[in-house]
A and B are shown apart, each in its own frame.
Chain A
Amino acid sequence: MSAHVLPVSGRVWSWTLQAFPPKPPYRPPSGGHRPYHVGYVDLGDVLVEALLAVPSAEIGIGLPVRLTTVPAYQDEDGTEVVTFAFRPDLDGER
């Protein structure tokens, strides 16, 4: 098995909102759980499940998105841990 570099942009294949706070081992961001979007992003070769940093007004199947990072939670020593996500890709809409 060898590493395969995936594209950093794609389109939303499906999406939902995590409306309720998940149970552990979920670690909420500092400030507590706020509803967040989750989706599958179609990168061509594969669908990737990811958090979607996309406002409710913009979200929809087919939306062009691009890789980004978002705060996940704060570690015990105060370190802010980030995770991957996708945000709207304005260039992709042209």
Chain B
Amino acid sequence: MSRTDDVYVVGCGMHPFGRDESVTGMDMAERAIREALADAGVAWEDIGYAAGGSDVSGKPDTLVGRLGLTGVPFVNVQNGCATGASTVLAVANALRAGEASLGLAVGFDKHERGAFHVSAARYGLGDWYAETGMMLTTQFFALKTRRYLYEHGISERALAMVAARAFRNGSDHPLAWRRKPLTEQEILDSAEVSPPLTQYMFCSPGQGRRRWCWRAATAPSTCVNNRSGWRRWPSGPGGSVRPRCSRPGCRQDRTTAPASTPRRRPSARQGWHPRTCRSPSCRTPTAARS
């Protein structure tokens, strides 16, 4: 199977991460969507296909009650930590299939403090599994991580290096959940959760999320479009959509974001024209205009 139709991210919006009891998950989603629409310069009525994901903070398709009963097909996605990525993919594939020319993907959540606790029955498992203390995502991550380190000869310190980089990136982002940089040693010395993982190697549950952080909860929203002439984000290898934002805070990894990332490539090569993001959250003009 080959995919030939390019799909582009043409606008994005994000609600700040953190804990704010004055807003609901649905409030965050609405704000992120309105920001994304404004960023793309389109109206809600222009959206021909939508998908949304949330684990515990609302039924995304009911956002039409706030945004307008346009008759847009709105699909709910619930796929654990992969909900955000699955949602973006659902919209991108719908556009490739010709369902619409402009789509919207949104994800949001609010979680209580501490590790998740869920009903074993909901996962098709017996109650004994949770009652005996084995049904924790933190354990699962620790077990898989330890084996991975063992098989590939990676030091436990490498985990702290990865976490330190994430905190460093967060300190650059005005909407990030954690904005204080931490040293590798501070991360290694933080509370033991499930060794080899310590407290600051996890994304602590909150509301909103950093888009690219695994197991986060977030309220980003993305407009996806398959027409040329928009701000064009080249699709990635194999035709997969590569959502990227031109805002500085959207950088996934500044240590590996060299001049070769699409947003910095000469536009002539990609047919892509960066422009200043209009979201309130990104006042700083980003890549040099070309």
Contacts and interface: CB of A to CB of B under 8 A. Distances in A.
Interface of A: 13-20, 22-28, 33, 36, 38-40, 49-51, 61, 72-73, 83
B133 interface: yes
Nearest to B131: A27
B132 A83 contact: yes
Contacts of A25: 117, 119-120, 127, 130-131
Given A25-B117, A25-B120, A18 B131 contact: no
Contact of B147 (A13, A19, A28, A36): A13
Contacts of A13: 147
Given A25-B119, A25-B127, A73-B131, A15 B146 contact: yes
Contact of B133 (A15, A36, A39): A36
A16 B115 contact: no
22 contacts: A14-B144, A16-B196, A18-B133, A19-B192, A19-B195, A20-B193, A23-B117, A24-B117, A25-B120, A25-B130, A25-B131, A26-B117, A28-B133, A36-B133, A38-B133, A38-B139, A51-B134, A61-B147, A72-B131, A72-B132, A73-B131, A83-B132
A83 B127 CA distance: 13
Contacts of B193: 19-20
Contacts of A50: 134
A14 B143 contact: yes
B133 A14 contact: no
Given A17-B195, A18-B194, A26 B133 contact: yes
User: Could you tell me the dominant secondary structure of chain B's interface residues?
Assistant: mixed
Contacts of A83: 128, 132
B244 to A, nearest CB: 35
The 6 closest A-B pairs by CB, nearest first: A16-B142, A23-B117, A14-B147, A16-B194, A19-B192, A14-B143
B136 interface: yes
Contacts of A24: 117
Interface residues of B, number: 27
Contacts of B150: 14, 61
Contacts of A39: 143
Given A17-B192, A19-B192, A40-B143, A51 B133 contact: yes
B250 to A, nearest CB: 33
B141 to A, nearest CB: 9
Interface in B30-54: none
A19 B131 CA distance: 16
Q: Counting chain A CB atoms within 10 Å of each CB, which of B114, B133, B136, B194 scores highest?
A: B133
B213 to A, nearest CB: 21
Contacts of A33: 133
A18 B147 contact: no
A22 B144 contact: no
B146 A61 contact: yes
A26 B139 CA distance: 14
Nearest to B114: A23
Contacts of B128: 83
A27 B130 CA distance: 8
Contacts of A14: 143-144, 146-147, 150
Given A14-B144, A20-B191, 7 more contacts: A16-B139, A22-B133, A22-B136, A23-B114, A23-B115, A72-B132, A83-B128
A20 B114 CA distance: 10
A22 B131 CA distance: 9
Interface string B223-243: 000000000000000000000
